[in-house]
Amino acid sequence: MRRVHPLLHAALVRRGGVFTTADAVAAGYTRHGIAAQLRSGRWHAVRYGVCTTQEIWHAYVSTGQEHGLEAAAVLARLGRDSAVVSHDAAARLHDLVVPAGSSPTVTLTDPERFRVGRGYRVLAAGLPGTDTTTVGGLPATSLNRTLLDVGRDWGVTDAVVALDDALADGRTTPDELAAGVLGQRHWVGIGEAAAAVRLARVGAHSPLETLTRLAFGASGLPEPVLQAAVLRDGRLVAVLDMHWPGTPAFGEVDGRVKWTDPWRGRSPADVGWEEKRRHDVLVDLGLAGTRVAQGDLATGMPAKAARVRSLLAQPLVLPPGVVIVPWRDGLRRVPRATPWTPPVIGGSQDRTA
């Protein structure tokens, strides 16, 4: 990264990758000098009066993470120590699963004032100390507060998807979320957030798994055990996305990415063969199930639910030495979420424009 003036370097570090025109003036840049930097492309205006370097901007745009710089720019522009990033904007910083079409507006919460401006809004609401944190150096609502805030704004299904994802990473617990609901019991919209918390479970490792679980529940099926390990003589045979205890019924949820972008250096053919062999082993052990893909959610779930319902009436007879138990308490082996991090700021130089 091109070296910058020491004062601008300090501002970039302090403000999460942005600096104000006042910072530039303090570093010795004139109004014309600032305009020249912007015209040359060395600087990029994030919003009026707030800039970053072109290298930083491109680094974040290329990975779809410019939302952090947008939030940093709003904080720098407003200059209020009491305001923190919240709601959808905080959800992006925390790397929650955000629904398609979510508003790009930067939302802040401030216990002292309400304000709306171009591309941002400031909501007036209480901020107990336990409800705030920093993400990449930016002040923001805590993970649990953010989950409840968006739970009051989003639809219940979208909120459950985000809750399940955070639970699967072990970033929160059902008890912590329930306590948060009680703390907001008089807030507008808390009923929707409470409904989402009641529906959330540990063990859904993708949005498609959450949506499938909810669809099966809406069909009247009993709740399955999520992430159920099939062990034979203590050795792992398979981990099922869903299993209905005491029956041979299991459910598997697959997206196309398993075949279009295989991991561990496998080819799509390798994946297909391994899946077939795995399924054959499960059938040989006396299990039977159904596989759900994204397209099934629209029209195929009644048939999938009927298949599972027919299996629930059958007894489970496993060979000696074979057991089915919850696996890793439903948690992912490797967490999915990567919260926003501030840009790596290069060194400074003792020059002005």
pLDDT (tens digit per residue) in 206-260: 999 999 999 999 999 999 999 999 999 999 999 999 999 999 999 999 865 554 5
Say how far apart CA 74 and CA 89 lie, in whole Å.
Answer: 11
Domain 207-330 belongs in CATH node 3.40.960: yes
Where exactly are the structural domains of the chain? 1-78, 80-200, 207-330
Torsion, CA 340, CA 346, CA 352, CA 353, rounded to 10: -70
Per DSSP, the three-state class of 106 is strand
Say how far apart CA 295 and CA 81 lie, in whole Å.
Answer: 47
pTM comes to: 0.92
Q: Which range is least confidently modeled, 8-12, 39-43, 117-121, 270-274?
A: 270-274
Distances (CA, A) of 14 to 7, 27, 134, 340: 10, 15, 13, 16
Q: What is the mean pLDDT of residues 46-75?
A: 94
Say how far apart CA 86 and CA 249 lie, in whole Å.
Answer: 42
| 226 touches 329 (CB < 8 A) | no
Q: Give the pLDDT band (50/70/90) at residue 265.
A: low
DSSP, residue by residue, 1-45: ---B-HHHHHHHHHTTS-EEHHHHHHTT--HHHHHHHHHHTSEEE
Q: How many CB atoms are located within 10 Å of the residue 353 CB? A: 14
pLDDT (tens digit per residue) in 130-148: 999 999 999 999 999 999 9
Q: What is the mean pLDDT of residues 99-127?
A: 93
* The pLDDT of residue 351: 45
Say how far apart CA 127 and CA 151 lie, in whole Å.
Answer: 17
Q: What is the mean pLDDT of residues 65-86?
A: 95
290's enclosing H/E stretch is strand 288-292
Average per-residue pLDDT for the chain? 92
Contacts of 216 (CB under 8 A, 6+ apart): 224, 242, 251, 301, 304, 305, 308
Kindly report the CA angle at 243 between 238 and 249, in degrees rounded to 5?
A: 105
Res. 348: pLDDT tops 90 = no
Query: Which among 117, 102, 205, 207 has a CA at the least distance from the CA of 155?
Result: 102
Say how far apart CA 331 and CA 338 lie, in whole Å.
Answer: 16
Query: Which among 275, 269, 311, 281 has a CA at the least distance from the CA of 293?
Result: 275
Q: Give the pLDDT band (50/70/90) at residue 274.
A: confident
Q: Which amino acid is at 16?
A: G
Say how far apart CA 245 and CA 222 lie, in whole Å.
Answer: 10
| 71 touches 45 (CB < 8 A) | no
Q: Give the pLDDT band (50/70/90) at residue 346.
A: low
Q: Give the pLDDT band (50/70/90) at residue 63.
A: confident
